[in-house]
Amino acid sequence: MPDEPRELELKYRIDSEPDYLRIVDSLPAAPERADSSLRNYYFDTQSYLLSRSQGMLRLRQGRAVVLCFKKGGEREGSPGFFDVVEVEGEVRKELLEEALAQPDVLLREPHPAIHSVLKHYGQIELEPIGYLDTLRRYRLHEGRLLECDEVTYPDGSRAFEVEVETTRPEDTRKALLRIFDELGISASPQRHSKLQGLLRKDGILP
């Protein structure tokens, strides 16, 4: 198959809700990018084959239902900068309910994300492994689009992140650090994905 698209993204973890809200309240909203409430459902094998090899298969429910496969992680030597295969696209809304009841229906879906799953892992048996909610707020700074995420886990705990897609991570890092310094924000490079954070909370990943 053709080369798979990649997502290049710098991520920072924000240490507290007040710091997160200070960013959201201090930066201008992105025009025509309304806040998004997203529920993310994850699928894997019983042995967590995908998750243990930096893979992820997700159905995201928002204004539409989006099927996504990712594989990869943090680029060595660049803390918080993730360089991953990302293949995604909308699917029919009924697929979500079908997949939660019978996960292997996903592998029969004629979708580029599933083509990538089969390319990397072959025929596997899927099951739901968890979900989390994301409230995404879009902000602008120096021409960059910041995705400011408030993540809520099933146990009610929350985490806060800022993500920026970029091909120049160190320039973007300097810009983010300027924002954090000017606003008095406590933040550090995010070293794992949202799914990895969920599985770490559940004791499945170290």
**Tell me: the pLDDT tens digits for 87-103?**
999 999 999 999 999 99
Nearest Cα residue to 103 out of 129, 80, 78: 129
Q: Which residues partner with 187 through β-bridges?
A: 14
Q: Tokens standing for 184?
A: 């008095």
Residues 133-177: pLDDT tens digits?
999 999 999 999 999 999 999 999 999 999 999 999 999 999 999
Q: Tokens standing for 7?
A: 């997502």
- Give the C-alpha separation, 86 to 197, whole Å: 19
Residues 116-133: pLDDT tens digits?
999 999 999 999 999 999
pLDDT band at 32 (very low <50, low <70, confident <90, very high): confident
pTM to 2 decimal places: 0.96
Nearest Cα residue to 188 out of 176, 175, 171: 176
* pLDDT given for residue 2 in this prediction: 54
CA distances from 2 to 5, 100, 112, 120, 158 (A): 9, 30, 11, 14, 38
Whether residue 180 is predicted with pLDDT greater than 90 in this model: the reply is yes
Residues 44 and 51: beta-carbon distance below 8 Å: yes
* pLDDT given for residue 73 in this prediction: 96
**% of the chain surpassing 70 pLDDT:** 99
pLDDT band at 1 (very low <50, low <70, confident <90, very high): very low
Summary mean pLDDT of the chain: 97
Residues 48-68: pLDDT tens digits?
999 999 999 999 999 999 999
* Three-state secondary structure call for residue 129: strand
What's the full length of the chain, in residues? 206
Q: What is the CA radius of gyration of the chain?
A: 17
Other residues' Cβ atoms within 10 Å of the Cβ of residue 161: 21
Range 58-80 burial, b when 16+ CB lie within 10 A, else e: bbbbeeebbbbbbbbbbeeeebb
Residues 153 and 135: beta-carbon distance below 8 Å: no
* pLDDT given for residue 3 in this prediction: 82
> What angle (nearest 5°) sits at the alpha carbon of residue 6, between those of residues 194 and 129?
30
Backbone angles phi, psi at 178, to 5 degrees: -65, -45
